[in-house]
Amino acid sequence: MDNGALHTQNRAERSPALRKAGEFRSYRRRWFILSVACLLNCSNSMQWLTFAPVADLTAEGLHVSLDQVNWLSLVYMVVAIPLSLISTWMLDTLGLRLTLILGSWLNMVGSVMRVVGVLSFVPGWALFPVVMAGQTLGAVAQPLVIFSPTKLAALWFPDNQRATANMIASMSNPLGLLFANILSPLIISKTSNLFILLLTYAIPAIVVCFLATVGIRESVPPTPPSAGAETSSSEPFFQGIKLLMKNKAYLILLVCFGSGIAIFTCFFTLLEQILCIKGYTNDFAGVCGALFIVFGVIGAAFLGLFVDKTKKFTEATKINICLTSLACTAFAVVTQMRDQKALIGVVCALFGLFGFSIYPVSMELSVECSYPVGEATSAGLIFISGYTV
């Protein structure tokens, strides 16, 4: 029997009272909570990558160097390392509702602070520190929102929809990166105005903060949708970490997928600089980032549906990791060439198709192979490994 199917069966066997009584129910409001989590993930990732596609023009507007502009993106990784354990503890102990609402407020305040930082009355020396402070608040919010998909899928969705729900919520993060890759060069090329750029990203942050605060009223449904949801987070936080450190299958996934997260983070942060040094434009770098994400989302949609039906999490993960390694190697080679736009575009598309599509499946696999550890804990440690590689 496949590992995913085996662990799903084990969850049911450990909740015999509910399984025999058939007291499982799915609520329609799960789709609203999923939509809010998607919008929040999308908004936060847009703020993360706001400046990377237009790094040179941002440096000019804020009167700083390119290295300082890179820190506007890198701060997300630096802040995530110490705060990730706190975020996973909050999700598994304090619940989904409080964590998402807190994340939405931090995300909103950070986005507004970035807008304030480029207003005309702010002195030139204060532009970068104020914008960096806003970025830092967004970075604090990131672990709170990016770890939520596995928890949300496990608590609110039946077993036959969990991988799909996880895929939808997880792919909202790269969709935000896609919008940033497209909108940042477009807005800057049309207006050359950082205020308009940052205001554009602040509006969805304000909207999703309102929706999360008003619309999310409970962390768990009154009746669980599955046996897995009924037994979710059965292990205490620190005991769960100890179990994970002794779980060989989980540790292998931690190293492999954590390395993948590190590679993808570097890809998005430095893509514009990698390509521009070879004579390619900001717009072309944005197109390459968009191809990576679009094909990744398409691949994730098909792969999510496939593993939901077959439960072949392990096989799908192994095959895609091998193909991703080949695509990554090809990307490293072709980006050293000049005047090869078509080839670079194809490689970026394949890189996304094989690499990003495995993201939600790996998150779900981390939950399945680490049961009975809490979902946020198992997913959170993988992200921590990616940020520390």
How far apart (Å, rounded) are the C-alpha atoms in residues 187 and 292? 21
- Give the DSSP H/E element, type plus range, for residue 58: helix 55-62
The angle that helices 358-370 and 282-310 make with each other, rounded to 10 degrees, is 40
Q: Are both 28-232 and 234-388 of the same fold?
A: yes
Of 116, 5, 127, 8, whose CA–CA distance to 372 is shortest? 8
Predicted confidence at residue 232, as pLDDT, reads 56
Distances (CA, A) of 45 to 98, 171, 179, 288: 20, 11, 9, 17
Residue spans of the chain under pLDDT 50:
1-21
How far apart (Å, rounded) are the C-alpha atoms in residues 158 and 175? 25
What is the tally of helices (H) and strands (E) in the chain?
Answer: 18, 0
Q: What is the pTM of this model?
A: 0.74
How far apart (Å, rounded) are the C-alpha atoms in residues 148 and 113? 25
How far apart (Å, rounded) are the C-alpha atoms in residues 74 and 170? 21
User: Is there a contact between 320 and 8 (Cβ–Cβ < 8 Å)?
Assistant: no
Predicted confidence at residue 230, as pLDDT, reads 63
Write the CB contacts of 300 (distance below 8 Å, at least 6 apart in sequence).
Answer: 167, 170, 171, 356, 357, 358, 359, 360, 361
Of 182, 142, 112, whose CA–CA distance to 42 is shortest? 142
Predicted confidence at residue 36, as pLDDT, reads 93
Residue ranges of the domains in the chain? 28-232, 234-388
Q: Over the stretch 343-388, which tens digit does the pLDDT of each residue have?
A: 988 988 998 888 877 777 777 777 777 777 776 777 777 777 776 6
Tokens of 185: 């060069």
CATH architecture of the domain with residue range 234-388:
Up-down Bundle (1.20)
Domain 28-232 has CATH 1.20.1250.20: yes
Which residue, chain included where needed, has tokens 């941002």? 58
